[in-house]
Amino acid sequence: MDIKKLEFESIYFDLYELNSGIFAAISAEKVPTSNAGFFDLGNYLVVFDTLMDPYSTVDLIKASKQFTNKEPSFLINSHHHVDHLFGNRIFPMNIPIISSFEALLEAQESLETRLKDFKERAPAEIKKTEAELLNEKNPNKRLELKSDLNTWNEIRKPSFNLRLPDFIINDSFTLKGTKNQVQIIYIGAAHTKGDIIAYFEKDKIAFMGDLLIEKNDPSWATATSGVPFPANSTRLRDTLIKYAEKEIETYVPGHGNLCVKQQLQENAEFYNKYYIKKK
Ligand SMILES: [Zn+2]
């Protein structure tokens, strides 16, 4: 497989074409910034996950149009966490947002609290970001701070809302395009209560969402906040082992750089050691 890094200017991610028409947006530097992708299936353009900062999702859509000459047909949320779903509201309402039933439920349950928290934090964050901007000289960092400032100002508006998934699945399915096809695989409870992944069997590529994270940190297992505890560590480990055994060459993680089988084995071992054996 010939992975190409593409010329695309974004302060948020590097863009790769993994195989013809299969693109990954990788933001390796910053945590908790997440990865996303888009797939040109011929007659359909499918976007897989959004990014935390609304402006990074604007860049993602711009890249998808520039490299495929198409408008997005579907958006998929791999799971409900806000770093993958925050950009949903940038997509026009006539574009269906696909997620599992459990992801929708979890989004409904958690986003209201999240939104309230964002709105409460907005005035202080605006102050802090304005102060940082005054002292920042690095042009990319300045751009990022300005985007953050715009985001917090948007959040503060009463009209600000997050868009939830509205095309709800309970099982796996295949999106067959005129040029390529992708299997949208329903995993169920693993990283969250309702994870889905995208699998290109012929191209030997899988977009794993947060089932796969390039580098895990043992301190997460004992952290009381910040890092979510897996909904089902055993299924998470078993899914990683199952997908490591498949004929796949490139795995796109939810966070970090592009992965190969080695990282799936490391992730499986990580969950085994720190979450499963502990019980
Ligand atoms: Zn997540």
Question: How far apart are the CA of 191 and the centre of ligand 1, in A?
Answer: 7
The pLDDT score that the predictor gives to residue 41 is: 98
Given a contact cutoff of 8 angstroms between Cβ atoms, the answer to whether 184 and 174 are in contact is yes
Counted residue by residue, the chain has a size of: 279
Burial of 153 from C-beta contacts in 10 A (0-12 / 13-18 / 19+): middle
Ligand 1 centroid, distance to 212 Cα (angstroms)? 10
Strand order in the sheet with 250-252: 173-176, 181-188, 195-200, 205-207, 250-252
The domain segmentation of the chain, as residue ranges, is 13-100+166-276, 103-156
CA of 143 to the centre of ligand 1 (A): 26
Topology, domain 13-100+166-276: Metallo-beta-lactamase; Chain A (3.60.15)
Distance 234 CA to ligand 1 centre (A): 17
CA of 183 relative to ligand 1 center, distance in Å: 20
pLDDT digits (tens, 9 = 90+) for 7-37: 998 888 999 999 999 999 998 565 457 999 9
- Residue with the bigger pLDDT between 82 and 177: it is 177
Cα angle, residue 216 at apex, residues 210 and 221 outer, rounded to 5°: 95
Average pLDDT, the chain: 93
| pLDDT value of position 148 | 87
Strands 22-26 and 36-40: antiparallel
Query: Average pLDDT in the 199-211 region?
Result: 98
pLDDT exceeds 50 at position 273: yes
pLDDT score, position 126: 95
Q: Which protein residues have a CB closer than 5 Å to ligand 1 (ion)? A: 81, 210
State the pLDDT at residue 177.
98
- Residue 137 CA, ligand 1 centroid: distance in Å: 33
